[in-house]
Amino acid sequence: MRNCILKQRWRPDGNLVNCPSISEEERSQLQAKFEEQEVYKCLKLCAIDKAPGPDSYTMGFFIKCWEILKHDIMVAFHNFYKQEMFEKSFNATYIALIPKKKGAKELKDFRPISLIGSF
């Protein structure tokens, strides 16, 4: 504890002159509207068989049903672009306790995992 209190801490000085920056081209790419092909391409890069999100759907569902869902998904992306914010629920994370052994009763008998939504 003594070391934590007495240890000198580093703090940024606020001088952003030497701060890494991006090029104008990179900046314009970050500010570009979302394109359907790009969203679908990124979606296909995700693991399809991972645990489902809070809505109970895996990424495989979104990929397989893209033709049906793409309009609604793109509306969500375009709303994010226009409003520069997204629904709070998109950032929801749930914690689940997985038993380490049969008959787990005490907290130490469980392993916590985080369930993070896909979108």
User: Does the pLDDT at position 99 exceed 60?
Assistant: yes
Positions of E strands within 1-119 = 93-99, 110-116
CA distance 99 to 110: 4
How confident is the model over 75-101, as a mean pLDDT? 86
How confident is the model over 5-20, as a mean pLDDT? 68
Give the pLDDT confidence score for residue 16 in this predicted structure. Answer: 66
Give the pLDDT confidence score for residue 1 in this predicted structure. Answer: 53
Q: What is the pTM of this model?
A: 0.63
Give the pLDDT confidence score for residue 100 in this predicted structure. Answer: 94
Confidence band of 75 (pLDDT split at 50, 70, 90): very high
